[in-house]
Structure formats: structure tokens, C-alpha cells
Amino acid sequence: MQITSAMKMVSAAKLKKAQDAITAMRPYADKLTELLQDLSATLDADSGSKFSEQRDVKKVLIVAITSNRGLCGAFNSNIIKAVNKITTEKYANKHVSYVAVGKKANDAFKKTGNVIANKSDIFDDLTFDNVAELAQMLMDKFVAGEFDKIEIVYNKFKNAATQEIMVEQFLPIVPIEKDDNVQLEYIFEPSKIEIVEQLIPKSLKTQLYKGIRDSFASEHGARMTAMHKATDNATELRDQLKLTYNKARQAAITNEILEIVGGAEALNN
């Protein structure tokens, strides 16, 4: 009970910092993605980006984002189940490989032999630059034709007790449907294509960083909740054991008194 209570307090302290980070980042990441989709939708098909190329999907890469440690309820198992469901149902006849972000994902999927990279150490120093290296690797593999589609699966932070499993398409970029009635009030300098070419890598890196940040905050929220429940269960168990002990002790004392009284009566007789 003391251990779980201490772990709850540690996770609560870490959660505050992680929650502030993802809350501050979301508006920027969402607006950047919206801007990129708006611009991509206005480009002609022949001037589209290499990151928007739609191919016949044969080889799929799934980036599974879990944690390095357990004791956080169903946080990791939910991601593993979601990835397995996607693999068996959505990509049943495709060649599926994995990038494990977190030791729990690596432990779960290394048995399949399809884990091409284990990035569990990314949580040791969770910075944008470290995540950008991983995003760049994913972009290079897509451009090189090693994979036709890349998806990321992670827990989205809603609050300390609630996490939502997200499955997002990372590559190719999915442009929003073009609406001829909507006029974008942008002045482009330099050209629209050049701006998109510069925005795409930055947007993709930001998208992946947001996903890992979301998962990081969700992990501490899930662990805090799990340790809170564990502490409550331990407290209840302690109280039950104390009651059982007191009853047994009281029964033993009563038997001793009866034996003494019985012995005294026997001597008097």
C-alpha cells in the first residue's frame, strides 16, 4: 500500500508537466496540419508532393506507441490489441511491419519478427529533435518505396482517468476534399508548391511528436489511476485482515479465560 501510494504521487507530479506540454502543443499542431491539408487540396495532381503519392497498398508500417514500464492498467495492452486487430482485419493480406516506441510494444511484436526498429530509448530524452529523427526515418522509407502506407497507433490524453486509442495515417498525406466554393485567403511567398514542400516535413514531425507526447501524458494518467485503485484495494484488504486478526485474537483470549475459569472450578471441587 505504501509503495502504490508513493507511485501514485510520483505519477501525479509527472502528469502535471506532461499534461501542460501536450495541452500547449495541440493548437499549434492541429493548425499546422489544417493549413497543410488546405494547401495540399489546392495543388494540381501533377504538382503534388512525394509524400502524398497514393499507391496500391502491399507493405504497411505501423508505429506502435506504448510505455517502457508497466503498472499502468490496460494502457499498453489496449494499444497491442488495437495493433493486432488492425493487422488481422484491416491488413489481413498485406505485409505488415512495426516500429516499436516503448519496450512493451517491442516485447509484444518482436515475436513476429517484423519489428524493423525499437525506439524505446526515445522516452529517456523526449525532445522534438529526437522524435524528428524517427519521423525523418519514416519519411525516407516511404519515399524509397519500402512501405506504401504508414500509420501510428497511440493513446490520446483526455484526462487522468481517460485515454482514447487513436489510429492516424502518417503517410501518405490525406488531403481534405477540395471545395471550389471555399476561397483560401492566403498570399503565397514564395510559391505555393515551395511552401508545401517545406511545410510537409515539419508537419509530419510535429504530428509524430504530438502523438508521442499524448501517449506520454496518458501513461502517467493511467499509472496514477491504476496506483490509486491499487492503494484503495490494499487499504480495503488491510482493514479486512485487521478485522479478521482482531476476531481471531478475541476468540483466543475468550478461550484462555474459559480454560482458566474451568481450571479454577475444578480445583474448588
Give the pLDDT confidence of 32-87 residue by residue, as tens digits: 888 777 776 666 554 457 888 888 999 999 999 999 999 999 999 999 999 999 99
Contact yes or no for 29/210 (Cβ under 8 A): yes
pLDDT of residue 192: 76
How far is 43 from 6, CA to CA, in rounded Å?
55
How far is 75 from 67, CA to CA, in rounded Å?
8
Taking Cα atoms as reference points, which of 219, 84, 82, 113 lies closest to residue 157? 219
Q: Has residue 178 got a pLDDT over 60?
A: no
Q: Has residue 182 got a pLDDT over 70?
A: no
Q: Has residue 195 got a pLDDT over 90?
A: no
Listed range (14-23, 128-137, 186-195, 252-261) with the worst mean pLDDT: 186-195
- How far is residue 153 from each of residues 5, 205, 223, measured CA to CA in Å? 30, 15, 19
How far is 118 from 99, CA to CA, in rounded Å?
6
pTM for this structure? 0.85
pLDDT of residue 181: 56
How far is 163 from 221, CA to CA, in rounded Å?
8
Task: Give me the DSSP letters along 162-224.
Answer: EEEEEEEEEES--PPPP-TTPPP----SS-HHHHHHHHHHHHHHHHHHHHHHHHHHHHHHHHH
Q: What is the mean pLDDT of the chain?
A: 89
- Which is the CATH superfamily of the domain at 2-227? ATP synthase, F1 complex, gamma subunit (3.40.1380.10)
Contact yes or no for 147/155 (Cβ under 8 A): no
pLDDT of residue 177: 62
Listed range (69-73, 191-195, 217-221) with the worst mean pLDDT: 191-195
pLDDT of residue 46: 45
Q: Are strands 162-171 and 149-159 parallel, antiparallel or unpaired?
A: antiparallel
Q: Has residue 118 got a pLDDT over 70?
A: yes
Domain boundaries along the sequence of the chain: 2-227
Per-residue three-class SS string for 24-39: HHHHHHHHHHHHHHHH
What stretches of the chain adopt beta strand conformation (E)? 59-65, 95-101, 115-118, 149-159, 162-171
Split at pLDDT 50, 70, 90, the class of 169 is very high
